Amino acid sequence: MSGGFGGLQELYGEVILDHNRHPRNFGPLPGANHHAVGDNPLCGDRVAIHLRVDDERIEEIRFEGVGCAISTASASMMTEALSGKSLAEAQELFDRFHALLTKPAAADAPDLGKLAAFAGVREFPMRVKCATLAWHALQSALAAPAAPPAPPPPKVAERA
């Protein structure tokens, strides 16, 4: 099907597949001061969120883990959407994204940009957990007190 809603769904599917195949901001984050792990034992998805928050702003955010295409793409797109945002903006985006996946009235969410690609997940209740796993881990990471950043590894003496 081309054009109309079918074309939009195809485009959204491509966005999700691209972020699954080539996740952005994937890997550890040296200097992170907030961490949390999200786990979905029903399907095996597991994601760790690492953030560096300074002066109530997400300076940097990365994730690690394994999961299905929906879980990985959601984590990847979340990190892109939240980098540089204030904690208040991050909470607002979490609320809007969660509503998109759980409330029929939120189906049209142009203000979510690429995150609107997940609107169709609402039709598959078992997949909502996959799409929100990283977001709930983010909430846990921000709710916990900031941890001091890990010190740099000790220098190893160079050979003469």
Residue 116 host element (H or E): none
In a domain, 125, yes or no: yes
Note down the domain range covering 85. Answer: 25-143
CA distance 6 to 108: 15
For 17, 67, 134, 142, the CA distances from 29, given in Å and listed in that order, are: 24, 19, 16, 15
Question: Looking at the domain assignment, is residue 1 inside a domain?
Answer: no
Per the structure, how many domains does the chain have? 1
In the chain, which ranges are E strands? 34-40, 45-54, 57-66
Residue 85 belongs to some domain of the structure: yes
Higher pLDDT among residues 158 and 27, named by residue: 27
What phi, psi does 47 have (nearest 5°)?
Answer: -135, 140
Is the residue at 54 inside a domain? Answer: yes
CATH number at residue 56: 3.90.1010.10
User: pLDDT at residue 33 above 50?
Assistant: yes
Residue 56 lies in a domain: yes
Mean pLDDT of the chain: 87
3-state SS, residue 16:
helix
| Per-residue confidence (pLDDT) for residue 12, from 0 to 100 | 61
pLDDT bucket at 4, cuts 50 / 70 / 90: very low
Residue 133 lies in a domain: yes
Q: If DSSP codes are grouped into helix, strand and coil, which group holds residue 15?
A: helix
Q: Would you say residue 32 has pLDDT above 60?
A: yes
* Residue 89 domain flag: yes
Position 160 in a domain: no
pLDDT tens sequence across 105-128: 665 666 899 999 998 898 888 899
Per-position DSSP letters for 50-74, written without gaps between them:
EEEEETTEEEEEEEEEE--HHHHHH
Q: What is the pLDDT of residues 79-112, one digit of tens each?
A: 999 999 999 999 999 999 999 999 886 656 668 9
